[in-house]
Amino acid sequence: MNTDFKATVEALIFASDSPLSVDKIARVLEVEPTLVQAAVEELSVDCSHRGINLFKLAGGYQFMTSRRFYPMVLKMKDTDRSLSLSQAAFETLAIVSYRQPITSQEVAAMRGVQSVSNILRNLQALELIRIAGRKDVIGRPMLYRTSQKFLELFGLNSLGDLPSLEEIGVNDS
């Protein structure tokens, strides 16, 4: 592989504020995505022992500090990156993420409560979920989906990466 090409890809990923997709890099550099993919994979190996690693997130790649150095980085940053959500909010988010698109009513029914609209509104304000249209039933209720930011903040490349229940030893029939 051309070292310069790899370095260019590295520079692009570094300069991006959010995970950068292979397709986008390919478009910018006017090359085949497969070339970029190969470069990205090499980069990932290259920096696996460094302070920054390459993460595959939300359909793209992003450089982030290695979790090995979390305590030190945290000490320097002084603020945690994690969201502080209540258990109710986590449950609501779990329902939306696993069963999207879903209406507010359906979420409430799964949690056995009358309404989750406040929680949904807050999750929306945090840009974790978004409105994705209306359901074609009486009342045309809004449908909710998780956002790109949700994938980023939960370390997922795509919704397909959500841990399945079988994987965690629950029989989902």
User: Where does this chain bind another protein (CB under 8 A)?
Assistant: 14, 17-18, 24, 53, 55, 57, 62-67, 70, 73, 77, 80-91, 93-95, 97-98, 110-114, 118-119, 122, 130-133, 153-156, 162-163, 165, 168, 170, 172
Q: Between 39 and 108, name the residue whose CB sits nearer to another protein.
A: 108
Residue 65: exposed, middle, or buried by beta-carbon count in 10 A (0-12, 13-18, 19+)?
middle
Tell me the closest approach of the beta carbon of residue 109 to another protein, in angstroms.
Answer: 8
Tell me the closest approach of the beta carbon of residue 153 to another protein, in angstroms.
Answer: 6
Both tokens assigned to 47: 């920096």
* CA distance linking residue 38 with residue 29, whole number of Å: 14
Tell me the closest approach of the beta carbon of residue 2 to another protein, in angstroms.
Answer: 25
Tell me the closest approach of the beta carbon of residue 70 to another protein, in angstroms.
Answer: 4
The type of residue at 22 is V
* CA distance linking residue 42 with residue 58, whole number of Å: 20
Q: Between 40 and 93, name the residue whose CB sits nearer to another protein.
A: 93
* CA distance linking residue 80 with residue 74, whole number of Å: 7
Q: Between 118 and 158, name the residue whose CB sits nearer to another protein.
A: 118
Q: Between 21 and 37, name the residue whose CB sits nearer to another protein.
A: 21
Is 97 in contact with 147 (CB distance < 8 Å)?
no
Nearest to 5 by CA among 28, 66, 17: 28
